[in-house]
Amino acid sequence: MEYFSLTLHEALRRLDTGEISSVTLTESVLARIDSVESTVQAYLALDRERALRQAEQADIVRSKGQAGPLCGIPLAIKDVLCTTAMPTTCGSRMLEHFIAPYDATVVTRLAQAGSILLGKLAMDEFAMGSTSENCAFKLPRNPWNPNCVAGGSSGGSAAAVAADECLASLGSDTGGSIRQPASLCGTVGMKPTYGRVSRYGLVAFASSLDQVGPLTKDVRDCALMMNVISGHDPLDSTSIDQPVPDYLESLRDGLKGMKIGIPREYFGHGLDPEVDKVVRQGMVMLEEAGAELVEVSLPHTGYCVAVYYLIAPAEASSNLARFDGVRYGFRDRSADSLIGMYNTTRSRGFGDEVKRRILIGTYALSSGYYDAFYKKASQVRTLIKEDFARAFAACDLIVSPVVPTPAWKIGDKADDPLALYLSDILTLSANLAGIPGMSVPCGFSREGLPIGMQLQAAHFNEAALLRAAHNLEQRAGVVGKKPALV
């Protein structure tokens, strides 16, 4: 039996019955990594010995009847989350040798739940990108077609789950960076409500938009991961003190009584006909499960990309000011003045896309331009948020495609920043409004590339997302379909 291919919940069941041990499971996943990683290129760091030690420990803990909710499960996380046990590079030369002095709260929570940390996953530098091509060290491939991008910025997190190189992973989502690669690689991915999951130890990109969330093999696994990582953290003053429901409960019900909104603006110009067809088939499945479909309007959708690509770079230009070669990270030694050292360190440490966004952000915040750009964008953000509030008065969920097209060839949009930014049009608004969003595998293109459906809900209504996603998953017939790697 190839244990690496198990879902997280199925692996837990077998660990619980004693059918497998965590050591057997972890060895199986490590063997899988050995056979496919040269193609998939998802891991920036991998610690086998530590993983096996943790697995032995997990087996002892379980034999004593003290197993936590993820006891003995081998996981991996996006390299944007601080870990004391291995480097945290953010996919950047700037942090190539950085060992964080503390663990991110989500890392601590996963460890306390008994899980095993296999390693850290590739990503666009500082989470800026839609293809992971901006990673300074590796380019993760789409397991369904290694000539195609895995998406980004959490490309490694999606590719590793889709290729069975871990049982589940964590990513971060500032404008779609969990949902978009999940859709392109055929995994489940959730961006929780802003404030649902602690960001302590998440290297900041755009602080009013960033959120940590899981990428998993199915919806039940997503609920299990959400149960562990959600909740208030006194170390993150933006995390919200609201009770966390048992997300597994939300998987029990059908969709009778649920109103699902279809936003007409999300099915417009530029949508690939195959994506349109697969997602519309998914809507019929939701209807068959008992939901009522209603048309809704999000009239400011066309302005989301413009708003996002002012606000996110503005916040990034401020957040990334900390990389100055002094307290951590790379220092260039060619200049002998302090300012010179800042300049050469940042110029050699950052890649092109990061520099581009720092420049846009600095320009948008600079004297004389603040009102025209940053303030204007923040006002239109209010209009976008109000669009959702109005829509959620008429429906419980909004469904749409995640990405306008299936995965594209590596290099195809690499020289056209705006074309890439425009591909984020369907996912950015959830971050701007702070609402939860999710990608669920819905079908495949003729070329065999996965296509996801996006579900969005009102603040803190992750349970409704999981409930609808679970019903879709039962009907879409995509569970258990695996890429033909090797």
Partner 1 sequence: MKITSDEVRHVAGLARLDLSDAEVDRMAGQLNVILAYVAKLDELDTTGVAVTTHTQQVVNAFREDAVRPSLPRERALSNGSDQNGESFVVPKVIG
**Annotation says 153 is catalytic:** yes
Q: Which of 269, 273, 339, 393 binds partner 1 (CB under 8 A)?
A: 339
Helices (H) and strands (E) in the chain, counts: 15, 13
Site stretch for partner 1 (CB under 8 A), options 330-338, 393-401, 406-414, 444-452: 330-338
Q: Is 355 a catalytic residue?
A: no
Which residues on neighbouring strands pair with residue 213, listed in sequence order? 171
Annotated active-site residue 277? The verdict is no
Q: What token pair was written down for 187?
A: 């995994």
Count residues near partner 1 (CB under 8 A).
70
Compute the chain's Rg from CA coordinates.
21
Q: Which residues pair with 78 in a beta bridge?
A: 121
The helix (H) or strand (E) run that includes residue 399 is: strand 397-401
| Shortest CB 410 distance to partner 1, Å | 20
> Burial of 347 by CB count in 10 Å (0-12 exposed, 13-18 middle, 19+ buried)?
exposed
Q: Is 327 in the site for partner 1 (CB under 8 A)?
A: yes
**195, 231, 404, 437: which one contacts partner 1 (CB under 8 A)?**
195
Our finding on whether 417 is near partner 1 (CB under 8 A) is yes
Print the binding letters for residues 232-251 with partner 1: x by CB under 8 A, - otherwise.
Answer: --x--xx-x-----------
Cα distances (angstroms) measured from residue 474 to each of 12, 187, 219, 470: 20, 14, 10, 6
Q: Which stretch binds partner 1 (CB under 8 A): 20-28, 74-82, 257-265, 361-369?
A: 361-369
> Which amino acid, one-letter code, is at 475?
R
Distance, CA of 30 to CA of 24 (rounded, Å): 10
Contact call for residue 358 and partner 1 (CB under 8 A): yes
Q: Which listed residue (33, 81, 182, 310) binds partner 1 by CB under 8 A?
A: 310
Interface region with partner 1, contact rule CB under 8 A, candidates 22-30, 116-124, 246-254, 317-325: 317-325
Candidate residues 1, 359, 394, 479; the one interacting with partner 1 per rule CB under 8 A: 359
We find the least distance from the C-beta atom of residue 120 to partner 1, in angstroms, to be 16
Q: Which stretch binds partner 1 (CB under 8 A): 119-127, 161-169, 253-261, 380-388?
A: 380-388
* Binder of partner 1 out of 317, 423, 456, 471 (CB under 8 A): 317
Give the one residue of 14, 48, 280, 376 binding partner 1; rule: CB under 8 A: 376
Q: What pairing do the DSSP bridges indicate for beta strands 74-78 and 141-142? A: unpaired
Nearest to 193, CA basis, from 471, 406, 392: 392
CB-nearer residue toward partner 1: 63 or 366: 366
Residues of span 275-304 touching partner 1 by CB under 8 A: 300, 302-303
Exposed / middle / buried, residue 171 (Cβ in 10 Å: 0-12, 13-18, 19+): buried
Shortest distance (Å) from residue 71 CB to partner 1: 28
Catalytic position from the list 21, 28, 153, 230: 153
Cα angle value 404/363/372 (rounded, 5°) = 80
Q: Strands 211-216, 168-173: parallel, antiparallel or unpaired by DSSP? A: antiparallel
Stretch that binds partner 1, among 248-256, 286-294, 307-315, 438-446 (CB under 8 A): 307-315
Which residues in the 424-483 window bind partner 1 by CB under 8 A?
432-435, 459
Distance of alpha carbon 30 from alpha carbon 47, whole angstroms: 10
Quick one: 38 exposed, middle or buried, by C-beta within 10 A (0-12, 13-18, 19+)?
exposed
Distances, alpha carbon 32 to alpha carbons 4, 28, 47, 485, in Å: 7, 6, 14, 11
The span of 114-122, 216-224, 375-383, 475-483 binding partner 1 (CB under 8 A) equals 375-383
CA distances from 430 to 256, 357, 417 (A): 25, 21, 21
DSSP state of 328: S
Does residue number 205 form part of the binding site for partner 1 (CB under 8 A)?
no
Alpha-carbon span 253 to 136, nearest angstrom: 45
Of these, 119, 214, 282, 325, which contacts partner 1 (CB under 8 A)?
325
The smaller minimum CB distance to partner 1, of residues 160 and 202, is found at: 202
Residues that bind partner 1 (CB under 8 A): 98-99, 101-102, 194-195, 208, 234, 237-238, 240, 300, 302-303, 305-307, 309-310, 317, 321, 324-331, 335-344, 346-347, 350, 355-356, 358-360, 362-363, 366, 372-373, 375-383, 385, 417-418, 421, 432-435, 459
Q: Which residues are catalytic?
A: 78, 153, 177
